[in-house]
Amino acid sequence: MKKLFISILSFAALLTTTVSCDDQLEDINKNPNAPEITQVPAFGVFNSASAFVMTESRGSFSSGRMALPWVQYSAQRNYTEEDRFQFREVTNQALYLNYYLAAQDFKTVIDLNTNPTTKIANEAYGNNTNQIAAARVMLAYTFLQLVDAYGDVPYYSYGNADPDFQALQIDKGILKPKFASQQKIYTDLMKELKEAAESVVTSETVVFTKGDRLFGTPAKLVKFANSLRLRIATRVKGVVPGAEAHITDAIASGVMTSNADNVGVKYQNDLINPSPFYRDFYISNRTDFAISNTLVDLLKGNTGVFGLDPRLQKYAAPITATKTAVRDNTYAETDDLSQYRGMPYGITSAQAAGQRTNTSFWSNSVLRRDYTEILMEYAEVAFLVSESKGWSAAEYQAGVRASMERWGVATAKINAYVAALPAPNQANVITQKYLALFMQPYEAYAEYRRTGYPNTLLQPGGTYTFNNPVDGVTTYTFTALNNLTAMPARFTYPVNLQTLNGENVAAAAAAIGGDQLDTKLIWAK
């Protein structure tokens, strides 16, 4: 069903974002055997799009070969050129396109609930207003991923008819959309989330009567919208006018307060729709990724200012655990820290060949069929609130505790770790946010660019060592590719857009200061 919905509903977005052609193509490509869009229930579109946006942004290419290693949650066991910022252009193109495909489907949910011909039928699956609000919130989430990654991009707004907002409007003949400015996009994202949250009919018991894999209740939808607004406003405070007011208002309006409010897509405990990395490891048989030594050293307390973190055993498997043992969860966690070793980060592919057998896979908590890919969780919100209060201790500690509880750490270990936390400040709170955002690489990537933390990440040009049990200590230099001297500040626009929408791409590149990997976004420090 997921594939059916995506194939039917996403063709318009494909044209809007990538194709320049005569209007007759729309008629040529009509499939006489496909159901009309009006025949598809909105809940099915929403459910499909929610799963699609997470699957296509958290897989082994979209995540594993771009942001995930860049923030050093992972290190590749084979093709380390990608860890050193030489990403594949086809991966970049797919990521960009798939966000727009998902956005088109969320817009379709709105269309189905506003069109007089279809809204009555869809009311049977949930209050029309709430369905529209849910779609607006997910549109904001999706476009946030785009603007955070690329900068100026084509943008669509439900509630703002700004002439610069031209994405997803093939029905109006816009085949080559303008790229809206970051300033306008972030401003509108906060407005959309506020309006969407305020529009929710909270007297209803559900958002959708079926097919909703994210929210369930209207109250949870409102908390997610406010929390996402808090994330955005914190990112652009001091840069986008009004952001500080949104921080205050979002918190006052009600943000996440416990792990029960976490929002994520939980995959099926089967081989039909398992989680993205389970599929890559066990169905596609691509064991290209291991937890990085950078993260393992931070969790062990070897770097940074924190002690031994009990999430180590929840994030990583012992080096003795085989791929099969991880899949079947037949290995035992251990307090023997020598059993947890990260893959050296920033080494060459030739050096990587000798390291694979002596490093840890991710744990079964990650490599499981029914893993939940998180859109946003309470731990992050607690750290955001801590920041809003000048790095408050109560929310700092609550964020650490919530993260550990989500990963199943024993209460006694949580209590001991929280009691020993160093005082809250920007470095400590953001580093703990980084640890809590494990396997949510795009948010960690944005936060690193905004704050420069954690400061334990290995830097291009630096000289480091790793200790191979066979060869002993090896010294190497982390040599970034693409002539970069730091982590990329953004993704470059997909090359195919130069042909398909070249004039607007050129204008956007000029507006942001050049279509380069080291061109900083407006909020980057």
**pLDDT tens-digit profile of 281-338?**
999 998 899 999 999 999 999 999 999 999 999 999 999 999 999 999 999 999 999 9
Give me the percent of the chain exceeding a pLDDT of 90: 86
Please state the domain count of the chain.
2
Which tokens is 228 given? Answer: 């996402």
Q: Is 104 a member of any domain?
A: yes
C-alpha 147/C-alpha 100 separation (Å) is 12
C-alpha 359/C-alpha 344 separation (Å) is 9
Q: Is 30 a member of any domain?
A: no
Q: Is 396 a member of any domain?
A: yes
Of 271, 174, 231, 153, whose CA–CA distance to 521 is shortest? 153
**3-state class (DSSP) for residue 158:** coil
Which tokens is 302 given? Answer: 């070897």
Residue 408's contacts (CB-CB under 8 Å, 6 or more residues apart) are 314, 365
Instruction: Mark residue 72 as left, alpha or beta (left: phi above 0; alpha: psi -120 to 50; beta: remaining).
Output: left
Give me the percent of the chain exceeding a pLDDT of 70: 92
- Domain span at residue 322 reads 276-477
Whether 473 and 495 map to the same domain: the answer is no
Site of tokens 């030594």 = 293
Q: Is 253 a member of any domain?
A: no
Whether 440 and 337 map to the same domain: the answer is yes
Whether 338 and 464 map to the same domain: the answer is yes
- Quick check: 27 and 170 in contact, CB under 8 A? no
Task: Please state at what angle helix 128-150 crosses helix 441-451, rounded to 10 degrees.
Answer: 50
11 pLDDT band (50/70/90 cuts)?
very low
Predicted confidence at residue 36, as pLDDT, reads 54
Whether 407 and 363 map to the same domain: the answer is yes
Hey, which of 36-50, 70-84, 231-245 has the most confident mean pLDDT? 231-245
Instruction: Give the mean pLDDT of 86-100.
Output: 95
pTM of the prediction?
0.93
Whether 121 and 174 map to the same domain: the answer is yes
- Quick check: 517 and 85 in contact, CB under 8 A? yes
What is the DSSP code string of 299-332?
A: HHTSSSS----TTHHHHB--TT--HHHHHHT-S-
Predicted confidence at residue 18, as pLDDT, reads 41
37 pLDDT band (50/70/90 cuts)?
low
Whether 97 and 166 map to the same domain: the answer is yes
Average pLDDT, the chain: 92
Whether 185 and 316 map to the same domain: the answer is no
Length of the chain, please? 525
- Quick check: 138 and 49 in contact, CB under 8 A? yes
The identity of residue 25, as a single letter, is: L
Residue 172's contacts (CB-CB under 8 Å, 6 or more residues apart) are none
Residue 289 pairs in a beta bridge with 76
C-alpha 353/C-alpha 79 separation (Å) is 10
Ranges of beta strands (E only) in 198-298 are 263-266, 289-291
**pLDDT (tens digit, 9 = 90+) per residue, 170-218?**
999 999 999 999 999 999 999 999 999 999 999 999 999 988 889 999 9
